[in-house]
Amino acid sequence: MFDFQPVRARNQGSTLVDQVVDVYAAAIQNRQLRPGMAVPSVREFARKYGVSTFTVASAYGRLVNQGWLTARPGAGYRVAPQGDAHAPSEPASWVPPRLNASWLLSDIFADHSIAIKSGGGWLPGEWLNEEGLHQALRHLGRVPALRIAGYGHPYGYAPLRDTVASGLGAHGLDVTLDQVVLTQGVTHGLDLVIRTLLRPGDTVLVEHPCYANLLPMLRLAGVRMVSVPRTADGLDCEALAQAAQTHRPRALFVNTVLQNPSGAVMSMSNAFRVLQLAEQQEFWVIEDDISRELVTTSAPMLAALDGARRVVYLGGFSKVISPSVRVGYIAAHRDLVRDIARTKMAVGLTSPEIMERVVHQVIREGRYRAHIARTRERLAQAHAVVAQHMDALGLTLWARPHAGLFLWARLPDSWACSANTLAEAALKDGIWLAPGSYFDPDEADIPWMRFNVAYSQAPQLWRFLEQVRQKKSA
């Protein structure tokens, strides 16, 4: 068919998914593969060339959406007819998606037509713990059906809750089983907390910049948002104190570690000051700590410092196991957890025990900690590469965490280009960038962008940005 030799060098610009897509596109253009010809299945290709099935499935999905391949149930993948209206020989047929909140919140997760997703919030498929997932799924296949046929416990699968409690204990947060409730990811957990603690008309404090998905949830809840500037050290505590005194907020929402989108880590002194203000002004602290496993240095956990009295702690597994494994958790005072469990049952009944069992098994198997260590290492390498490109182009970095998924970068004034305008132009080149307006409570077109370092090593991205720089400086 063709000779494919995957390149896994650390300084390799393209991912394995990119390499599979490129080799197929070249073979079809060169007529090595002709319309209607069958191509190897995902498993066949993975076995033959020594790559993961996640990599091949992602590449095949992209090839289908770009018009190179077709997929039919029971018939596998075949080379698409070149006269097809969606075939890549007619590039004008592809229309870039419109950059708006609707696409960000829904379509982006299904849109495989964008080749480079530097604005994404997840790890590449080939970075995920494939062997751990396969082993967990095989284990689940041996569980008698009657044991997993019911709704499950309202709080979630008890062995996983126990594992979560033990893990939090290692960070200094001592909680019992009845202080942990499982959710369908951290975003679902935030929704449950919002529904339980807040009422329309309440005021809450959010970070600026802020986790993008939190903002529409708060708008839907009818609450008023007041933003508090984020600094490289944590929250601007003078602004926090003033906002708390002026607006009497019900709650503060905060990312402690590797904040989304800035990548910054809160210092211990900042954490103590935030908790002190929360105690003085009597507001809840909702701590979204989804990236705790990816941090490489010691970092404060607000809930541990507070003893889970005023802090509601949220964590999950999408950043280290798989984004499709929608399992998260909330840890808090037992009375509040009981109320959250009631909310959970009222709006969606129990969370899927099957997925919770899968996560529990992945954590139990021996390679989980090694997988996290390897992911941290790969992210550190990606940070070094991406930061070097940014420095060369004159972008200003908010922080240099050397860990986690994100870098938050300011566009040079000399480019005279708004972040939204740049993102629109990038989409036409098959590049998704995340402009600052995604993370601004007022959706203002601020001159900042979030980059996912794991997806930002593609040469096409930096060629595009270099062309923008040259054009603006000409």
Q: Can you tell me the distance from the alpha carbon of 193 to that of 216, in angstroms, rounded to the nearest whole number?
A: 15
Pairing of strands 180-183, 251-255: unpaired
284 SS3 class: strand
CATH architecture of 132-364: 3-Layer(aba) Sandwich (3.40)
pLDDT confidence of residue 6: 80
Instruction: Report pLDDT digits (tens) over 407-454.
Output: 999 999 999 889 999 998 998 888 889 999 999 999 999 999 999 999
Q: For residues 230 and 266, is the Cβ–Cβ distance under 8 A?
A: no
Backbone φ, ψ for residue 178 (5° rounding): -80, 10
Res 199 pLDDT > 60: yes
Considering only 116-130, 162-176, 211-225, 273-287, which range has the smallest mean pLDDT? 116-130
pLDDT confidence of residue 66: 75
The residue that leads in pLDDT, 221 or 28, is 221
pLDDT confidence of residue 108: 53
Instruction: Report pLDDT digits (tens) over 38-80.
Output: 899 888 888 888 888 778 877 887 787 677 888 876 668 889 8
Q: Can you tell me the distance from the alpha carbon of 88 to that of 409, in angstroms, rounded to the nearest whole number?
A: 33
Domain spans, the chain: 16-94, 132-364, 369-473
77 SS3 class: strand
Q: Can you tell me the distance from the alpha carbon of 155 to that of 280, in angstroms, rounded to the nearest whole number?
A: 32
pLDDT confidence of residue 84: 42
Please tell me the pTM assigned to this model: 0.79
Considering only 89-103, 292-306, 411-425, which range has the smallest mean pLDDT? 89-103
Mean pLDDT of the 135-154 span: 76
Look-up of token digits 């005279």: 416
Res 87 pLDDT > 60: no
Give the right CATH number for 369-473 from 3.90.1150.10, 3.50.50.60, 3.40.50.720, 3.40.1360.10: 3.90.1150.10
Instruction: Report pLDDT digits (tens) over 102-144.
Output: 555 544 555 555 778 899 888 887 787 777 777 777 777 777 7
416 SS3 class: coil
Look over the chain and give the mean of its residue pLDDT values, rounded to a whole number. Answer: 87
The residue that leads in pLDDT, 65 or 281, is 281
pLDDT confidence of residue 92: 39
The encoded tokens of residue 345 equal 């049952």
Fold equal for 16-94 and 369-473: no
The pLDDT confidence band at residue 240, using thresholds 50, 70 and 90, is very high
Q: Can you tell me the distance from the alpha carbon of 323 to that of 16, in angstroms, rounded to the nearest whole number?
A: 19
pLDDT confidence of residue 334: 95
Count Cβ atoms within 10 A of the Cβ of residue 145 and give its class: 0-12 exposed, 13-18 middle, 19 or more buried: exposed
For the chain, the C-alpha Rg in angstroms (whole number) is 23
Look-up of token digits 């260590």: 373
Res 10 pLDDT > 70: no
The pLDDT confidence band at residue 91, using thresholds 50, 70 and 90, is very low
How far, CA to CA in Å, does 113 sit from each of 107, 169, 469?
11, 43, 26
Considering only 50-64, 156-170, 297-311, 443-457, which range has the smallest mean pLDDT? 50-64
Instruction: Report pLDDT digits (tens) over 323-370.
Output: 778 899 999 999 999 999 999 999 988 888 888 998 999 888 868 888
Determine the CATH number of domain 16-94: 1.10.10.10
The encoded tokens of residue 383 equal 């940070």
Considering only 41-50, 100-109, 196-205, 267-276, which range has the smallest mean pLDDT? 100-109
Q: Is the peptide bond before 261 cis (omega within 30 degrees of 0)?
A: yes
Res 247 pLDDT > 90: yes
How far, CA to CA in Å, does 315 sit from each of 107, 176, 287, 329, 434?
25, 16, 9, 5, 23
Mean pLDDT of the 172-197 span: 96
Res 319 pLDDT > 50: yes
pLDDT confidence of residue 147: 66
- Residues whose CB is less than 8 angstroms from the CB of residue 162 and which lie 6 or more positions away in sequence, other chains included: 177
In one-letter notation, the amino acid at residue 101 is A
The encoded tokens of residue 349 equal 């009944």
pLDDT confidence of residue 135: 79
